[in-house]
Homo-oligomer: A and B are copies of this chain.
Amino acid sequence: MSDTSTSQTERSAFRSIDAATGLAVGNPIAVHGPADVEAACVAADAAFDAYRATGNDARADFLERIGDEIVALGDDLIVTAMRESGLPRARLEGERGRTVGQLKLFAGVVRRGGWMGLRIEPALPDRAPLPRPDLRLRMIPLGPVAVFGASNFPLAFSTAGGDTASALAAGCPVVVKGHPAHPATGAMVAGAIDAAVAACGLPKGVFSHLVGPGNDLGSALVQDPRIAAVGFTGSRAGGLALVKLAQGREVPIPVYAEMSSINPVVLLPEALKARGAALGTAFVGSLTMGAGQFCTNPGLVLAVEGDGLDAFVSAAATALPEAPAATMLTGGIHAAYEQGIAALASHAAVKEISRGKVGEGVAQGQAAFFETTAAQFLSDKALGHEVFGASSLLVRCTSEDELHAVLRAAEGQLTATIQMDAGDADMASRLIPLLERKAGRILANGWPTGVEVAHAMVHGGPFPATSDGRTTSVGSLAIDRFLRPVSYQNLLPELLPEVLRDGTTAPRLIDGVPAN
């Protein structure tokens, strides 16, 4: 890089920001440029064959070692993440546990070996009219993966988060584009991964971490011919921009972008009658958790007019003004949130139910709850767009048919929630087929804001919740995003991958039937 004062200014312009004060702290952070992107991708590509050849145990050990190294960063990591994200200590300590647990979950998946999808069909030399060849199949990793960390989970969905963990588990080297909202946190976690790479004797190119404040770094990364897939969590505009770049390459690549969702919550009549007020209070808890900065925040509430809905609204209207304003992740997110709720507040068809406490810091978000009618909601698509933060819209429906019509018109979602009592079962059973077509996760009598890291979790859903509804970005199924099948026909046993040779004990199908 040149040493002119202009470039010095540009480089020093990138600083870690204290979310609560909006002020820069710490030393200027060197911005990576195109040459760094290329070097990271060249190293990742060069490391790919050696890394994917590691055995399942060695790769699992590596994942667990990353977890150990993150824990070894101690309280410094928590303090740094608190400063950069504005999130409280308990939340970040929990998130660290989640990050480490996620790495362990994938270590277990890698050790068990089901991820390899082994299939064996031995030769049938005497089959008529033609002999059957020996066919053996396994899943192999796609190649180096570009990961874009999320701002709202500076640990669990950033540098060593779900995308990184699942890509490394699959055998893909990872190049992280660190989120500029928490560069110091990202650098500490990247250091932990580097330490694990070294401790496990892996090539350095298995992991790289690039930082910079603008979009050019990410654009260059997605367009590098060595990158084979992209994981992203963030805004719809950001995700769609990456998808477009990936599709425009000479060799297009998959982009797994988790983008936007308003997570409809359907309040069924019997539940409202029995516990409308309690639901209203609990709803506010889910709405305002983490300043509403969850992908699964309940941004849309649906109910048919009837007994208990007033009690729900009135309890929410009572609880919300008590909800403290909370520091949002960045000034940009706060500004977009303010704009979003201002648009709702001034919308002719929308009525304000209540607001949370007014913020005092520079980037504190004030929670907001609005209402409209189904007819109005159906006539203006903009009312269905996500306002990232603690904002939600109640849509009053006049009938079950209208409720279904609103859901049919809704975009793809990460989650759909049903609040129901026993007497609502028939209505719920009519809803479920519709919700299955709209969302990746359907939950009953809870709130969508808790996302368990588990084998049976789906944190995904039809477009535009994600760019690829065939997958999940949380939970062990996420590893499948970074794999593709290869079939081996009549290869000499010594040339086959060891796990596909006769006598293997790995989980496999033989002639289509599971063998043990």
Contacts and interface: CB of A to CB of B under 8 A. Distances in A.
Interface of A: 49, 53, 94, 105, 108-109, 112, 114, 119-121, 129-130, 132-133, 135-137, 140, 142-143, 247, 251-252, 254, 412, 425, 428-429, 432-433, 436-437, 439-446, 450, 452, 454-458, 460, 462-464, 467-472, 476-477, 483-492, 494-495, 507, 509, 511-514
A251 B512 contact: no
Contacts of A514: 114, 507, 514
A188 to B, nearest CB: 25
Contact of A443 (B114, B433, B443, B490): B490
Given A140-B436, A492-B444, A133 B452 contact: yes
B457 A135 contact: yes
A115 to B, nearest CB: 11
9 contacts: A119-B477, A121-B454, A121-B455, A132-B452, A133-B443, A254-B470, A444-B489, A469-B484, A471-B485
Of all A-B residue pairs in the complex, the 7 with the closest CB atoms, nearest first, are A443-B489, A458-B487, A135-B456, A137-B456, A119-B456, A455-B512, A441-B487
B487 A450 contact: no
A172 to B, nearest CB: 12
Contacts of A492: 425, 428, 444
A437 B254 contact: no
A470 B444 contact: no
A446 B112 CA distance: 34
A442 B133 CA distance: 12
A145 to B, nearest CB: 13
Which of A94, A437, A509 is the most central at the interface, judged by chain B CB atoms within 10 Å of its CB? A437
A433 B485 CA distance: 14
Given A143-B437, A512-B112, A428 B472 contact: no
A121 B486 contact: no
A512 B109 contact: yes
B454 A135 contact: yes
A468 B481 CA distance: 12
Contact of A462 (B132, B251, B425, B490): B251
Contacts of A463: 251-252
Contacts of A114: 509, 514
Contacts of A495: 425, 428-429, 432, 444
Nearest to A251: B463
Contacts of A112: 512-513
A384 B398 CA distance: 63
A483 B130 CA distance: 33
A469 B412 CA distance: 25
A460 B254 CA distance: 15
Nearest to A477: B485
Given A142-B469, A143-B437, A452-B489, 12 more contacts: A114-B514, A120-B456, A121-B452, A132-B454, A251-B463, A251-B464, A429-B495, A439-B486, A441-B487, A444-B491, A458-B487, A462-B484
A486 B425 contact: no
A464 B137 CA distance: 21
